[in-house]
Amino acid sequence: MSIDTTTSTQLEIRSGRVLDPASGTDQVASVFMTDDRITAVGQAPAGWKPDKVLDAAGKIVTAGLVDLSARLREPGYEHKATLESELMAASAGGVTSLVVPPDTEPVLDEPGLVEMLKRRGWTLNQARIYPLGALTAGLKGEKLAEMLELTEAGCLGFFQADRPIVDTTVLYRAMQYAATYGFTIWLRPEDAHLARGGIAHDGEVASRLGLAGIPVTAETVAIATITTLMRETGVRVHLARLSSAKGVELVRRAKAEGLPLTCDVGIHHLLLTDRDIGYFDSQYRFAPPLRSPADRDALSAAVIDGTIDAICSDHTPTDDDEKNVPFGEATPGASALEMLLPLTLKWAEQQHVPLAEAIARISLKPARILGKTQGPITAGALADLCIFDPRAYWAVTRETLVSQGKNTPWLGRELQGKVAHTICAGRIVYSA
Amino acid sequence: MLTTNPQLTADKKLRHLLTIDGLPKAIIENILDTAAQFVSVGDREVKKVPLLRGKSVFNLFFENSTRTRTTFEIAAKRLSADVINLNIGASSTAKGESLIDTIDNLIAMDADMFVVRHAQSGAPHLIAKHTNLVRPGVAVVNAGDGRHAHPTQGLLDMYTIRHYKKSFHNLSVAIVGDILHSRVARSGIHALTTLGCPDVRVVGPKTLIPTECERMGVSVHHDMKRGIEGCDVVMMLRLQNERMEGPLLPSAQEFYKSFGLTAEKLARAKPDAIVMHPGPMNRGVEIESRIADGAQAVILPQVTFGIAVRMAVMSIVAGGGAA
Amino acid sequence: MQLDAEQLIDVLAEKIGATDEGTVVVGIHSGGAWIAERLATRLGRALGGSIAVTLHRDDFAHRGLHPQKQSTALDFSVDGSDVLLVDDVLESGRTVRAALNELFDFGRPKRVRLAVLIDRAGRELPIEAQFVAMTLPLDPNQALDLTRADGHLRFEILPR
């Protein structure tokens, strides 16, 4: 490849451990980039004159992370977070691509809104934004959204977020309609009736604390309904945020049967359980709820055996007014973009999962769900990279968090694994 | 992640009373012993002791309950405290003020103690964690939060049982009715198991028994006659009106047929069994009038003991837990 | 060092001498109550019960509630009565103050007199006993504890 040194930008990442799940590479090497592409790995191209060199000795160089769910809170909730603050948080977390759910205000059910979001994303030039369109108008679960128009505007799929479709006929029709065009439907499997009024996993802890329960059946009934309708309609479905052992089992069977089904789990559900709620700590309120240790273990096993395809942050920035209230009134969710990598490393260490396999679940595998590639780290590929120190500790505090949402269960704790640089399309978007 | 228990000080003294769950046995026994001293105060010519003189006790009732509020008010007044009753439902929060803002305002008015009734489980915990942070020394007493806990009711029930049965070690206690929504049941269960009661049973239809209830150390029964067989204590619970008809129960009448305490069913318990109810009673729904007014009922003594128990709790937490 | 409290009770009874027939002997819990029992017998007067001072202690704000299972038990009508209040040791006078408050919660006595076995000095309130078996000025660092073993009462002087 010839290089025009007068107009292009050359970036070199020197002597890092290149760990690439896509190619299986694990070796110490330098990575050479020109503009938004990787030019070479290992041997410098002829006439290499880097504009900038990043020393990656002792660090790991891997593909930029792909997060299947990050709420950026724009439009509509700018008091909680803005695109600027959250894309900076993504970069600080090594995330170069992120999927944005449609539960903004107004919801992403009009092409204009999607285009505006994408345009804002391009202007900020921090990370690749993949919006999901609303499955139904206003996410009300009544009328279908304009899926074709939304796809043309840039939506990768259609999601109902945390709002239920109460009327099963609407769900059935939405699936039929999406199947017409080969669109993918994203659903968080939770039966609206069974989950109604629930606050925490329906088990020992909720019973003891007197919190209304969300039973596991809310998830299994929903998965049973969804998979039954998949068989009828042939639509591709991505199940977002599995939470239970029984839910995993239904997904396992559906996949074995050959249904076009993928699914993800939030990183917190691999590490925490309802026991962690302790004395009504609202940082541990999630949707779906944190479940029992047995559920957590089953989710973990399912990620390892591939039943669950990907891990996501389910980043949900909340302000203090949403958390400093009684548990039952607290907004579920946590800031997590910056914790996705260290928490995945923590999970991998606990479960003895090789590093490359763990990273694949937050880069390569989620990219595949989106119909994208991430990596391989070879000449010609897009230069989306994350360079991190797997041993470095950092304290999660209100000051160190870049996200505007300062609420997370990890506040005040130390995590291992710190991003040193994030490169998106050949541009250094973050340096520690 | 389990953080430190906000109701105890670092040296395990009671600084707030939020729940009986996790309270050391010694603290529960101390509250009961202290209450014994206060029982007689009601019989004196001067029904007042000066322990809380000059202290401001705020009754924060986010949920209406005239009866419970009154017993706390009497208890605080007998301890010579200044009592301020706030009916929050009608004031601040209706205007959109957050719970924490309300508390900060009252702390600025030099409140010494909050007695909190709230519809949300865990609300008193939130307030206690906040006061621990901004004004240590301000005590919080839970007067009932959601389905979670009603610790002073649990303690007065224990006082009543101890008064009539002397010890917990050979007792069989049945708690009957809507366990699912009952903070009284939860506090009672934790108190009984902590005090060493070997046989605690909960009795009710499957729709009104919490998931994995056995984990709290009780046995679960759906047949009332078997559930109260040989019991020393039968604790009836109140069934809220709104739950009498709907997806949990078809009707109050059908509930009464299976789980209402009648003379016929009570005959299955020990002859000297006592019958308790936290009030207010639904006669003909949870309990037959003949039983409610009968010789085995100790429902009115419960109310009297309740004031002494609340005096004990308030004077212990106001004194920084030392006792 | 030990002192025989039983002998001191004899001394105290002698000093009190003849009392009105209606006099009621009341002990302050716990040491005073033991002494009151014996003294009532010695004097041939009614034992009116015992007073627990927990609810009227003045150190509540600093030390909280004192653990005590005993509560005040008076089996006579306090109104118009002639009370002989009995305690083991008189020091600051604060216990007696609290006992008087407690007593008055039950009614208005016609007269209250105080009898103690030992006056150890160290008064912090204007309170004096009418009857004292022994005056023993002790260092503030010394504690004077009444103990009961095999039904026999004795004082022990210990470092505080």
Query: The domain that contains A55 carries what CATH number?
Result: 2.30.40.10
A41 and A116 part of one domain:
no
Residue A70 lies in a domain: yes
Cα separation values, B101 from A283, B83, B130, B257, Å: 20, 21, 11, 47
Same-domain check for residues A150 and A252 = yes
SS3 of A252, please?
helix
The range of the structural domain enclosing residue C51 comes to 2-16+23-58+70-79+90-159
- For residue B56, report the phi and psi dihedrals to the nearest 5 degrees: -105, 120
Between CA A29 and CA A15 the distance in angstroms is: 5
Share of chain A above pLDDT 90, in %: 94
Q: What percent of chain A has pLDDT over 70?
A: 99
> Is there a single domain that holds both residue A336 and residue A398?
no
Could you tell me if B55 and B112 are in contact, meaning their C-beta atoms sit under 8 angstroms apart?
yes
The pLDDT assigned to B322 comes to 53
Residue that is last in its domain, among A369, A390, A419 = A369
Same domain, A388 and A271: no
Tell me B236's DSSP state: E
* Token pair recorded at residue A161: 């977020």
In a domain, residue A374? The reply is: no
Indicate whether B224 pLDDT > 60.
yes
Shortest distance, CA B101 to any CA of chain C (angstroms): 28
More confident residue, A82 or A7: A82
Residue of C108, C58, A80 whose CA lies nearest to B50: C58
Of the listed ranges A112-116, A413-417, C149-153, the one predicted with least confidence: C149-153
Q: Pick from A279, A324, A326: which is nearest to B3 by CB? A: A279
Q: Which residue has the higher pLDDT, B223 or C68?
A: B223
Q: What is the pLDDT of residues A344-401, one digit of tens each?
A: 999 999 999 999 999 999 999 999 999 998 889 999 999 999 999 999 999 999 999 9
Average pLDDT, chain A: 96
Query: Does the beta-carbon distance from B121 to A202 stay under 8 Å?
Result: no
Same domain, A240 and A337: yes
ipTM: 0.94
Structural domain tally of chain A?
2
Q: Does B6 contact A215 at a Cβ distance shorter than 8 Å?
A: no
| Number of domains composing chain C | 1
Q: State yes or no: pLDDT of A4 exceeds 70.
A: no
Asked whether B269 and B234 are in contact (CB, 8 A), the reply is: yes
Closest CA to A72 of A111, A20, A126: A126
| pLDDT band per the 50, 70, 90 thresholds, residue B245 | confident
Q: What is the mean pLDDT of chain B?
A: 93
CATH code, A170: 3.20.20.140
Does A258 contact B at CB distance below 8 Å?
no
Cross-chain Cβ contact A325/B210 below 8 Å: no
Q: pLDDT for B182-196, tens place per residue?
A: 999 999 999 999 999
* Residue found under tokens 């993800």: A264
In angstroms, rounded to a whole number, what is the distance separating the alpha carbons of residues A147 and A28? 46
Q: What is the pLDDT of residues C54-99, one digit of tens each?
A: 889 888 877 788 777 788 999 999 999 999 999 999 999 999 999 9
pLDDT digits (tens, 9 = 90+) for B22-73: 999 999 999 999 999 899 888 888 888 999 999 999 999 998 888 999 999 9
Instruction: Give me the DSSP letters along A45-100.
Output: PTT---SEEEE-TTSEEEEPEEES-B---TTT-TTT--HHHHHHHHHHTTEEEEEE
Average pLDDT over every residue of C122-130 = 95
What's the rounded Cα separation, in Å, for the pair A341 and A420?
12
The number of angstroms, rounded, from the C-alpha of C139 to the middle of its chain's C-alpha atoms is: 21
Q: Please indicate whether, in this complex, the C-beta atoms of C65 and B41 are within 8 angstroms of each other.
A: no
Q: In C, which residues are within 8 Å of B34 by CB distance?
A: 65, 67
DSSP B184-208: HHHHHHHHHHHTT-SEEEEE--GGG
What angle, rounded to 10 degrees, do the helices at B151-165 and B183-194 form?
Answer: 50
The neighbours of chain C, by the rule of 3 or more Cβ pairs under 8 Å, are: B
B9 touches chain C (CB under 8 A): no
- C64 is a domain residue: no
* A327, closest residue in chain B (CA to CA): B122
Contact yes or no for B211 and A202 at CB 8 A: yes
Does residue B75 belong to the interface with chain C, where contact is any CB pair within 8 Å?
no
Asked if the structure places residue C63 within a domain, the reply is no
The pLDDT assigned to B244 comes to 85
Q: Is residue C50 part of a domain?
A: yes
pLDDT the model gives residue B1 = 42
Q: Which residues of A touch B93 (CB under 8 A)?
A: none
Residue the block writes with tokens 């604390």: A209
> Domain boundary at A351, A369, A387, which?
A369
Q: By the CB < 8 Å criterion, does A309 face chain B?
A: no
Residue in A350, A190, A216, A224 with CA at minimum distance from that of residue A291:
A216
Report residue B175's pLDDT band, with 50, 70 and 90 as the boundaries.
very high
Q: What CA–CA distance (Å, rounded) separates C105 from C101?
A: 6
Report angle CA A290, A292, A295 to the nearest 5 degrees.
Answer: 90
Cα–Cα distance for residue pair B228/B94, rounded to 1 Å = 44
Within 8 A of B102 by CB-CB distance, chain A residues are none
For residue C122, is it within any domain?
Answer: yes
Q: Are residues A395 and A296 in the same domain?
A: no
- pLDDT > 50? residue A1: no
Portion 83-122 of B in contact with C at CB < 8 A: none
Q: How far is CA C123 from the centre of its chain?
A: 15
pLDDT higher than 90, residue C1: no
> Domain for residue A105, yes or no?
yes
Question: Chain C residues with CB inside 8 Å of B48's CB?
Answer: 105
Same domain, A116 and A209: yes
Nearest-Cα residue of chain B relative to residue A203: B211
| Cross-chain residue pair B36–C65, CB shorter than 8 Å | no
Is residue C85, in this structure, part of any structural domain at all? no
**Do A314 and A237 share a domain, yes or no?**
yes
Q: Which residues of B touch A326 (CB under 8 A)?
A: 99, 118, 120-123, 126
Residue A5 domain flag: no
Structural domains of chain B, ranges and CATH numbers in brackets: 25-150+306-318 (3.40.50.1370), 151-303 (3.40.50.1370)
Token pair recorded at residue A235: 């639509």
Establish whether chain B is in contact with chain A, requiring a minimum of 3 CB pairs below 8 angstroms.
Answer: yes
Report the alpha-carbon distance of residue B306 to residue C71 in Å, rounded.
18
Residues 29-88 of B with CB under 8 A from A: none
We report the CATH number of the domain holding residue C130 as 3.40.50.2020
Residue A171 CA to residue A182 CA, distance in Å, equals 16
| Nearest chain A residue (CA) to B186 | A208
What domain range is A358 assigned to? Answer: 64-369
* A-C interface (Cβ pairs under 8 Å ≥ 3): no
Contacts of A86 (CB under 8 A, 6+ apart): A70, A71, A72, A73, A74, A315, A317, A337, A403, A404
Are B45 and C106 an interchain contact pair (Cβ–Cβ within 8 Å)? yes
Residue that terminates a domain, selected from A322, A344, A369: A369
Based on the domain organization, do A340 and A229 belong to the same domain? Answer: yes
Query: What is the model's pLDDT at position C18?
Result: 84
Summarised one tens digit per residue, pLDDT across range B253-266 is: 999 999 999 999 99
Q: Tell me which chain B residues have a C-beta less than 8 angstroms from the C-beta of A292.
A: none
A345 shares a domain with A216: yes
Name the average pLDDT for chain C.
92
**In a shared domain, residues A271 and A172:** yes
Query: In the predicted model, is pLDDT for residue B288 greater than 80?
Result: yes
Q: Which residues of A311-345 are buried (b: 16+ CB within 10 A; e: fewer)?
A: bbbbbbbbbeebbbbbbbbbbbbbbbbbbbbbbbb
Sign, Cα dihedral of B249, B251, B256, B260: positive
CA dist B259 and B265 (Å) reads 9
Q: What are the residue numbers of the active site of A?
A: 314
Chain A: list its partners (3+ Cβ pairs within 8 Å).
B
State the SS3 of chain C: CEEEHHHHHHHHHHHHCCCCCCEEEEEECCHHHHHHHHHHHHHCCEEEEEECCHHHCCCHHHHCCCCCCCCCEECCCCCCCEEEEEEEEECCCHHHHHHHHHHHCCCCCCEEEEEEEEECCCCCCCCCCCEEEEECCCCCCEEEEEEEECCEEEEEEEEC
DSSP label of B79: T
Span B274-287, pLDDT tens digits: 999 999 999 999 99
pLDDT band at A2 (very low <50, low <70, confident <90, very high): very low
Q: Is the pLDDT of residue C125 over 80?
A: yes
Amino acid C90: pLDDT: 96
Do A317 and A383 belong together in one domain?
no
Which pLDDT score is estimated for B86? 87
Residue of B nearest to A275 (CA): B1
Q: Which residues does chain A have within 8 Å of residue B183's beta carbon, measured at their own beta carbons?
A: 210
pLDDT at B95 over 80: no
The Cα diameter of chain A in Å comes to: 70
How far is it, in rounded angstroms, from Cα A12 to Cα A61?
A: 12
